[in-house]
């Protein structure tokens, strides 16, 4: 009887850990700026509750990424900016932070990689390309040092 209980517990644990790792049919921001996903079974899951998400993107590999907006406004700006990118993949949410602002982000290689444009509001910054699974930097460059025509293909965005 104990073996059956242990087996059932393990099965239930595995099912619960996979609850959010199904294929994602759609991702969207609600009117309160929270992230939701809908899987192919029709189940909807709310991933955020803080109401500070913006610029949501869904990749072919079911990765979801969004900017987390600051709760403060920088001098000279009218609206908050973001210094953090959240990435949801296979039931886990992780983040990439930028010392300045994340001005844009895009998936590369069907979502196996993600790039960010990190810098100030009105001058050249840096672009970084990350491996989506490990969030290690694969490549980067200073926009001030590399002319548009010489930038790597991943720099063009989606």
Give per-residue pLDDT as tens, 90-127: 999 999 999 888 999 999 999 999 999 999 877 889 99
| pLDDT score for 63 | 96
Q: State residue 75's pLDDT score.
A: 59
Quote the pLDDT of residue 6.
Answer: 39
Residue matched to tokens 């949501």 = 56
pLDDT of residue 83: 87
**Which CATH code for domain 47-156?**
2.40.128.650
| pLDDT at residue 14, as a whole number | 37
- The whole-number pLDDT of residue 50 equals 94
Q: Which two tokens stand for residue 27?
A: 């991702």
Give the integer Cα–Cα distance in Å for 19 and 31. Answer: 25
Mark residue 111 as left, alpha or beta (left: phi above 0; alpha: psi -120 to 50; beta: remaining). left
Q: What residues does each domain of the chain span?
A: 47-156
What tokens were used for 116? 């960010």
pLDDT at 74: 59
Residues of the chain with pLDDT under 70: 1-21, 71-80, 158
């Amino acid at each position: 009887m104990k073996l059956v209980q242990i087996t059932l517990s393990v099965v239930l644990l595995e099912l619960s850990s996979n609850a959010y790792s199904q294929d994602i049919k759609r991702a969207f921001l609600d009117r309160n700026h929270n992230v939701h996903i809908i899987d192919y079974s029709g189940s909807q899951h709310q991933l955020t509750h803080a109401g500070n998400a913006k610029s949501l993107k869904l990749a072919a590999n079911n990765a979801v990424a969004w900017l987390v907006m600051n709760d403060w406004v920088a001098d000279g700006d009218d609206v908050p900016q973001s210094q953090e990118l959240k990435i949801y993949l296979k039931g886990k949410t992780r983040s990439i932070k930028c010392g300045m602002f994340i001005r844009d982000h895009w998936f590369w290689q069907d979502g196996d990689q993600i790039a960010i444009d990190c810098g100030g509001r009105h001058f050249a910054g840096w672009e970084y390309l990350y491996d989506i699974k490990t969030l290690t930097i694969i490549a980067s460059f200073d926009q001030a040092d590399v002319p548009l025509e010489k930038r790597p293909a991943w720099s063009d965005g989606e």
